[in-house]
Chains A and B, each alone.
Chain A
Amino acid sequence: MKKMVCLSCILFLLCISTYGQMQISFKPIFNKDSISVLKFYVSNVQILYRDGTKFKENNSFRLLDIEYIESFLIILNAPSKAIEKISFDVGIDSTTSVSGALDGDLDPIKGMYWAWHSGYINLKLEGKSKACSTISNEFHFHVGGYRSPFYALRRIDVPIVNQMGSSVAIQMNIALLLDKINLKQINNIMLPGKEAMQIADYLPQIFSNK
């Protein structure tokens, strides 16, 4: 009897630990020479399954940094089933932005925080383009802001058409983003404002699952 209890306990624990894992890998698309910095926050991931059920991760904030390519693979403790749609925020919401000193991926030492103008940088994108008539043709985009009317967080919905078992790839088309930006005129954003909002508005168009 005791053995049976022990065994079922172990089995139960095993089930919990392996119960569903979904892997979402972000695949940035860009010309390798053109990008030197790509860092952005993916938060509040939600999965809508084809059977109508949902998986939601609240108050989760992940910093994806091209310097640490492993950060582009997100593992969720979510059931492995056919997915209809994956949704997430690029950036940090306003409530979290006013919550004082935070840690983990939200630690200000991660270089994604404005000190004199409190708030997170949702997306940092730096590189070179011939279209920029700047020093060494560089562009620097630090896109963020949580105060109205310059709230730069964007919700992204990606319909899933191509799923490999428990893993899904989401393409992030940086090349397309750079095409959309008029680099001749806009090549240096260091503050929340109209220009940051413009770039944020392009974000929903650059994520896809093909």
Chain B
Amino acid sequence: MIIGVILILFLYVFFSFVFTEQKNIHFHVPEGWPKPVYDFKQNRLTEKGFKLGSALFFDPILSRDNSISCASCHLSFTAFTHADHKLSHGINGRIGTRNSLTLINLAWNTSFMWDGGVNNLEVQAINPITNPSEMNHGLSNAVDALNASPRYRKMFYSVFKDSIITSQKLLKALAQYTSQLVSYNSKYDSVMRKEKNVSFTQNELNGYTLFKNHCASCHTEPLFTNYGFENNGLSMDTVLKDFGRMMITQDSKDAFKFKIPTLRNIEFSAPYFHDGRVNTLKDVINHYTSGIVVSASLSKQLQQPIILSEKNKKDLILFLKTLTDKYALYNQRFRYNYSETLTK
């Protein structure tokens, strides 16, 4: 009797080991950072899941005519945004209405898109896949295209133990990749961690003080956003007529409010603002010092003009450049072809 019980227990342990050979990846939360918002319990991270997500991210198979992928508008070298494009273009060169956002530290995002209309990282990807100005593919067509691919069926099977691909599996796989695009190794981070031989220059330190006085209430450390929505005094583009957050809340108080974006890797995420209207950090700062358009919903933080000397503007930019994380931008793991190792 006892031997029987021991045998059953042994077999149970043996088989559970065999069937769960996929190791979970531990999601690292940098010291002093808040708890991630994304619920990893609903999508246990695995190496194979990450590789599958990466393969999907770089594959134009998700677009109607096989011409563009997620990476077309979110390039790792440019902080996962679309460099040189104010507004990104989708299939057939159709132009969208907003500047593509950076895909960094998404696990902490409380909402997605410039208007915060999307409530969960997993469902965010439905938008670029289905938007007529982006991939213009029905979600079910994208799922069908994947199901028609023996390579993907194999890959999905290795991750989900099921070769029938559903939209849920597609979206969870993409989230495995995008949630792990974390950036916390900038010079700023090293200085904050008091690492040896790293310190701010005098100019950067002055920029940091200015930043804390003038910018940090919205672009709050350590993620450099408080995830709120504000009207930062940009004039309305008369062609795009974008009311921002108001389109989601139906509340006129939210007119012209947009998500406060993170400033991490801002050196490489040009052009700036929700419609990409300016190209340089200098122009961004000049907007805040002398370009604010007053309207009913203008941010409280911007009611008083920000006054900065030319030297202070330069120092502030030097500080912002300390938020560049080359380790994240040039990380092999985040690049195309990393996923290839999965099928070998």
Contact = CB atoms under 8 A, between A and B. Distances in A.
A193 to B, nearest CB: 5
Which residue, A102, A117, A192, has most C-beta atoms of chain B within 10 A?
A117
Interface residues of A, number: 22
Range class of the B interface residue count: 20 to 34
B210 to A, nearest CB: 37
Given A107-B166, A107-B168, A115-B127, A100 B118 contact: no
Contacts of B143: 109
Interface in A148-203: 150, 191-194
Contacts of B119: 97-98, 118-119
Interface secondary structure of A, over-half rule? loop
A116 B122 CA distance: 13
B168 A150 contact: no
A107 B250 CA distance: 26
Interface secondary structure of B, over-half rule? helix
Contact of B122 (A97, A100, A113, A119): A100
B290 interface: no
A1 interface: no
Nearest to A98: B119
A100 B171 contact: yes
A191 B243 CA distance: 15
B167 A118 contact: no
B42 A100 contact: yes
Contacts of A4: none
Contact of A99 (B42, B131, B247): B42
Given A101-B167, A107-B167, A191-B250, A118 B139 contact: no
A17 B232 CA distance: 63
Interface of A: 97-103, 107-109, 113, 115-119, 147, 150, 191-194
Interface of B: 39, 42-43, 113, 117-123, 126-127, 130-131, 138-140, 143, 166-168, 171-172, 175, 247-250
20 contacts: A98-B119, A98-B120, A101-B120, A101-B123, A101-B167, A108-B126, A109-B138, A109-B139, A109-B140, A109-B143, A115-B130, A115-B131, A116-B118, A117-B118, A117-B248, A118-B117, A118-B123, A192-B250, A193-B250, A194-B250
